[in-house]
Structure 1
Amino acid sequence: MKRPVSCEWNITNYCNLKCSFCSMNSTHHKDFENLNITKIKEVARKIKEVGCIYVSLSGGEPMSHPLFFNIIKELRKKKLEVTITTNGTFINPSNIKKLEKLGIKWIQISLHGNDPDINNKIMGGNVYNVIRKSIELVKHSSIGISVSSVITNENKASIRKLQEELKLKNITHITRKCMFVGRAALIKKELNIGRKFEIEKISKNCGLFFAIAVNGDIQPCGEFKVKLGNIFEDNLIDIWKNSPILRMCNKGSRCLAEIYENNKKFRTQINSMI
């Protein structure tokens, strides 16, 4: 395969919120000891060596990590473009200035409709107004912004209203159906809205080439929790070149993460490749 263009780095499983549909099973347990400066430098070097151009920092809540800005600095030293996926609760004027100085080009913030009560219930905290302020802070900075919403039965009406509002503000809005993995798998019936909501379809693949878990495990993506190797123990270039699972993901038209989670036959097939 050609070199990967982008990867996702999950730098912590800790999150200060508890979204009902969280596919990452994020927790309130702080696991920051998994990364130190030495490991951060090693990961940055290997991401660069495998050929990536873009790195998406995710979690959990990536901005909660005490070494968050150090991680960005090491990635930027390698001339890697960094994007951030965040719930927005750690964004403030001081952090925006730091991110601008580090050359961050894009931040994606989660907001699940324009109804404060529904959003707060879904996200597990009284954070609607905080996130709204964060969106405005990024919008008025030099950093690009998108807002990401997961569609459920509960919030689909308020998401339509949010779409209209963001369009007027020229803010990119990304709508996603719920991935029934992680915490979301426990409440599938409540979350599933089938095909009633128009969602942009993936024509080739999601654009992510591989993911790095908190402990260094290499996975097809954060939702597709199949260990292909470990960045601290194995050769990332070899994993990229030789993994049949990565080849399947990068040429397919359907997301394989949810199929793996819910289809026993497919899961057995994938596990035989590991």
Structure 2
Amino acid sequence: MQWVRQCKDTFIRRYNDLGYITSQLSKRDRVYDEIGALFLSKINRTARTVDEIVDELHAQFSDVSREVLRADFGEFIQELAEEGFLVTGRSEADLDRKDHGFSYLTDAPKTAALNFLAQDKNPALRDTADFFYSYFRDHPVIFGMHLEITGHCNERCLHCYLPRPEKAAVMPLSMARDLLDQLQAMGTVSVTFSGGEPFTHKQFAEMLIYARNNDFSINILTNGTLIRNEIIPVLKQVNLNMVQVSIYSMDPDIHDRITQHRGSLRKTLAATEKLIASGIPVQISCPVMRINKDSYTGVAQWARQHQVRVLSDFIMMARTDFDTGNLAYRLSIDETGQLIRNIINEDETYQAILAAEPPAGDAARKAEQPVCGVGVDNACVNAEGNVYPCAGFQGITLGNVSQQSLADIWANSEALKALRAVTNASFPQCLNCAANDYCAMCLVRNFNESGGDIFAINEHYCKVAFLTRDLVTGTAGN
């Protein structure tokens, strides 16, 4: 007798007539329509026998022989099992033995991926990625939700894009649970918890457990200083996709100067090592500014020794209240060039991606695509229940979940409708730009830095794009 169930790192969703399956372990995904979607709907986290499922299918397709249905369904689950989405076996215990999950002991743990928080599509699955760009544009779905559960933070980072509140709000547990219920009903796959500092929230553990019970892929953004031993079992229990920890330098004087919290590097490193030792996936965020411009290499080397990846943001974002004071710490173009060289030297994966020939795309099709996922497949809710297009886009309030359902806001917000109308064609000066393939347009960076104009592109971003192009093509300095 053959048994089947989805892997513990796999998530299955239904979007109208489409079936979708994705793995937070491999980052692979598949989308199915018609019969494939029906087959997928028969599989969940509870082990079932293939005979039981085939009996159900035969009741729906009485004109198809049971043998044909079994062969077709068997082929379907075999392919998904080979790709790590499902486990099959002769017993439930056999399934448990085969469902290995994340481990740092493998040759290539997922924490070594370029950016595991991003739902990048496997290159072999480009059709899936293209399909979802089109599908979400016509049928917006909150694929990923960012929950800022508190405004409290025990650090005062110089570059932070969130203004320091006079009185920090804290999301009630009841609001978080209600939001997670609504998101589950809407088909959301991923939930990211942040703050402030999420570990200042006294009921954070309950939120994580509730999110796991609602079957989300869970991420946490944290400075790590407040991660205590007693929370580790909960973090293991909820099977996190990733904990992203901010480390600015291996020099405590530099790191602590940025966080304005003495002893923060020591606490952050201790927590990060504790997470890794516990087998919890970790990713390091290393925003680079003038203070730590020479620190990236040290952080990258430490990360490599611990089999984790470092992400670096060297452009910075103005604050959500349009205060640009934090941008005084932004790297100059010359400093940015040196940092990019350091990243390329330290990161072979990043080097390979930059060196790859940009895909030859359909210019007309690209012009019609959204600039990013804002209003299309992601959103943010802060501790007061305000809904924003994304975490940094807090100059535009779409609604409040205390007054409207999330589904109502998502479907009817006039501000969201306006954002959904923005495409690459809205920036005609960029479509044929020589550095277009090396530029990542960001509406919220435009918005925050210009005082509220999403179409105002700052010259600094353009200079960085051309600099990156020149470094990759070997023309820098020529």
For the aligned pair, the TM-score class normalised by the smaller chain equals 0.7 to 0.9
What is the letter of the counterpart of residue 228 of structure 1? L
Q: What amino acid does structure 2 have at the position aligned with 1:210?
A: A
**Residue 181 (structure 1) aligned with residue 319 (structure 2):** yes
Q: CA deviation at 1:93?
A: 2.2
Unaligned runs of 5+ in 2: 1-138, 344-349, 359-370, 427-439, 457-478
Confirm whether residue 230 of structure 1 aligns to residue 400 of structure 2.
Answer: yes
Gaps of 5+ in 1: 270-274
2: CA distance between counterparts of 1:188 and 1:29? 24
Asked if structure 2 preserves the Cα contact closer than 8 Å seen for 1:114 and 1:161, the reply is: yes
Question: Any conservation in 2 of the 1:23–1:181 contact (CA below 8 Å)?
Answer: yes
CA distance in 1, matches of 2:243, 2:207: 16
Counterpart pick for 1:128 among 265, 271, 284: 265
Structure 1 residues 150 and 38: alpha-carbon distance in aligned structure 2, compared to 1, 3 A threshold = same
One of 409, 412, 417 as aligned partner of 1:244:
417
Q: 1:156 to 1:250 in 2, by over 3 A?
A: farther
Structure 2 counterparts to residues 31-110 of structure 1, below 5 A? 31-32=169-170, 35-110=171-246
Cα distance in 2 for partners of 1:223, 1:117 equals 28
Rg larger in 1 or in 2? 2
Kindly provide the amino acid, as one letter, of the partner of residue 448 in structure 2.
E
CA root-mean-square deviation: 2.8
* 1:105-254 alignment runs, 5 A limit: 105-126=241-262, 127-177=264-314, 178-182=316-320, 185-194=324-333, 195-196=336-337, 197-198=339-340, 205=372, 209-225=378-394, 226-242=396-412, 243-247=416-420, 253-254=440-441
Counterpart for residue 445 of structure 2: 258
| CA–CA distance in structure 1, aligned partners of residues 328 and 279 of structure 2 | 41
In the alignment, the residues of structure 2 paired with residue 214 and residue 45 of structure 1 have an alpha-carbon distance, to the nearest angstrom, of: 17
Shift of 1:250: 8.9
- Asked if the contact 2:209–2:234 (Cα under 8 Å) also holds between the matched residues in 1, the reply is no
Greater alpha carbon shift after TM alignment, 15-24 vs 67-76: 67-76
How big is the shift at 1:65? 0.4
Per the alignment, in what secondary structure is the counterpart of residue 313 of structure 2? strand
Q: Tell me if structure 2 keeps the 8 A contact 1:26–1:60.
A: no
Aligned length: 266
Aligned twin of 1:272: none
Q: Distance in 2 between matches of 1:166 and 1:206?
A: 29
Secondary structure of 2:383's partner? coil
Query: Retained in 2: the 8 A contact 1:249–1:256?
Result: no
SS of 2:178's partner is helix
Partner of 1:16, secondary structure, is coil
Match of 1:152, as an amino acid? M
Identify if the C-alpha distance between structure 1 residues 264 and 104 changes in structure 2 by more than 3 Å, giving closer, same or farther.
Answer: closer
TM-superposed CA distance for 1:239, in Å, is 3.1
The worse-fitting range, judged by mean Cα deviation, of 108-117 and 252-261 is 252-261
* TM-score of the two chains, using structure 2 as the length reference: 0.51
Which whole-Å deviations, capped at 9, do the CAs of 1:174-226 have from their partners, x for residues lacking one? 1112212259721322333344332889x964797111111111111111111
Q: What's the secondary structure of 2:295's corresponding residue?
A: helix
TM-score when normalising by structure 1:
0.86
Do residues 5 (structure 1) and 192 (structure 2) align?
no
Give the whole-Å Cα distance in 2 for the aligned partners of 1:114 and 1:249.
Answer: 41
